[in-house]
């Protein structure tokens, strides 16, 4: 008889690791959190104590060596993702990995080859695909409700920049922020991007420029079906987390607005107003994090394809590298130019 509960090992007890731990324990009945590790062992121990996880430590190899653990959830630093994927695949563990797999295509390809050779499942953590509003946009495009798509506009703005220490190792705006929007563009349109053109600058904080990054960018996309898109990014929106999408098609359009803590609207003689939208991704995408991991667990227990594949994790990195090249060279860049 097939297993009814999947034993998971969590690698990384930082912010997103804690989100997944809470969801596994409280929201996903078909999963059991069996072990937690983190290079900062007290962080793993604290999380294990909070959720009564039987095993905690600092070495992920202990999770891979445990025959009772069926799959791993990788939430460690980005530069560890690809090596852990390779090791987990060799140990026969199924893998859920936060994005990106890596900042370089060579390491990504090595990881994907290891997964294929081991015949294990790999899902990449592009959680926005599992948001109910974006899923409805995808449905409208896929079912032809708005006709042939012509134009896409993705607005993705953070409430404040991340710490400078993070920006020094994040891979830059296109690989730590826009990468989600690149994935959404492919997912919502159901079509690959062939070319990108980028303009950007440092309008929020000069220190961001000093570490070699941007804080404001516009990226235009050309899709293989002839449609066009634009991604609008800023690292600071004074009013909160701004996450919107619109697609215009031959028969109409579909759009999503921001999510709010409540639906109250205050109307007076001087103004009509409402409270600000959710302030960051932890609040805005709460349910999507549950759904993505629940679908991963379901795919393993019932031997189905995962909803976000390793190739889905690779392509947005190619797009990010192309966007950076376009910015540096002041020209449109085709994705097939990016080979390494």
Per DSSP bridges, beta strands 6-11 and 71-74 are parallel
Beta-bridge mates of residue 242: 157
Residues 172 and 264 reside in one and the same domain: yes
* 295 in a structural domain: no
Tokens of 126: 């592009």
Low-confidence ranges of the chain (pLDDT < 70): 1-2
Domain edge (last residue) among 120, 149, 181: 120
Domain edge (last residue) among 120, 155, 180: 120
Per DSSP bridges, beta strands 94-98 and 71-74 are parallel
Q: What is the pLDDT of residue 185?
A: 98
* Segment 128-154, tens digit of pLDDT: 999 999 999 999 999 999 999 999 999
Are 6 and 70 in contact by the 8 Å Cβ rule? The answer is yes
Q: What is the pLDDT of residue 139?
A: 98
Domain edge (last residue) among 85, 100, 120: 120
Per DSSP bridges, beta strands 242-249 and 149-157 are antiparallel
* 1 in a structural domain: no
Are 150 and 272 in contact by the 8 Å Cβ rule? The answer is no
Tokens of 241: 């987390």
C-beta neighbour count of 29 within 10 angstroms: 11
Q: What is the pLDDT of residue 199?
A: 98
Q: What is the pLDDT of residue 1?
A: 34
Return the CATH number at 239. 3.30.360.10
Q: What is the pLDDT of residue 340?
A: 78
* 303 in a structural domain: no
Residues 110 and 134 reside in one and the same domain: no
- Domain span at 214: 129-284+316-337
Task: Say how far apart CA 331 and CA 334 lie, in whole Å.
Answer: 10
CA-nearest of 93, 87, 82, 80 to 119 is 93
Residues 145 and 273 reside in one and the same domain: yes
Tell me the pLDDT of the chain averaged across its residues. 96
Return the SS3 of 14: coil
Q: Phi and psi of 4, rounded to 5°?
A: -110, -15
Q: What is the pLDDT of residue 254?
A: 98
CA-based max dimension of the chain: 68
* 208 in a structural domain: yes
Please state the domain count of the chain: 2
* 296 in a structural domain: no
Does the CA dihedral 54-60-66-70 come out positive or negative? positive
Residues 108 and 141 reside in one and the same domain: no
């Amino acid at each position: 008889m097939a297993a009814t509960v999947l034993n998971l090992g969590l690698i990384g007890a930082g912010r997103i690791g804690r989100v997944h731990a809470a969801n596994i324990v409280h929201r996903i009945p078909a999963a059991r959190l069996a072990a937690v590790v983190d290079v900062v062992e007290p962080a793993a121990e604290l999380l294990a104590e909070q959720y009564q996880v039987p095993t905690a430590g600092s070495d992920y190899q202990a999770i891979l060596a445990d025959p009772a653990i069926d799959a791993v959830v990788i939430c460690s630093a980005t530069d560890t993702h690809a090596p852990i994927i390779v090791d987990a695949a060799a140990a026969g563990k199924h893998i859920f990995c936060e994005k990106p797999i890596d900042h370089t295509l060579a390491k990504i390809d090595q990881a994907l080859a290891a997964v294929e050779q081991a015949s294990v499942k790999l899902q990449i953590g592009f959680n926005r695909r599992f948001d109910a509003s974006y899923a409805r946009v995808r449905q409208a495009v896929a079912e032809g409700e708005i006709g042939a798509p012509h134009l896409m506009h993705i607005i993705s703005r953070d409430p404040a920049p991340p710490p400078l220490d993070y920006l020094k190792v994040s891979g830059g705006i296109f690989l730590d922020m826009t990468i989600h929007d690149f994935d959404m563009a492919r997912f919502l349109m159901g079509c690959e991007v062939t070319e990108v053109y980028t303009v950007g600058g440092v309008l929020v904080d000069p220190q961001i420029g000093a570490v070699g990054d941007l804080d404001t960018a516009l990226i235009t996309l050309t899709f293989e079906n002839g449609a066009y898109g634009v991604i609008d990014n800023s690292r600071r929106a004074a009013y909160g987390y701004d996450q919107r999408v619109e697609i215009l098609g031959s028969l109409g359009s579909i759009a999503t607005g921001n999510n709010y803590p409540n639906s109250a609207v205050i109307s007076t003689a001087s103004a009509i107003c409402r409270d600000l939208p959710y302030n960051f991704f932890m609040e805005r995408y709460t349910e999507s994090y549950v759904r993505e991991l629940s679908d991963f667990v379901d795919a393993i227990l019932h031997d189905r394809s995962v909803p976000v594949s390793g190739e889905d994790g690779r392509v947005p990195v190619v797009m990010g590298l192309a966007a950076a090249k376009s910015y540096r060279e002041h020209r449109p860049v085709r994705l097939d130019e990016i080979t390494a």
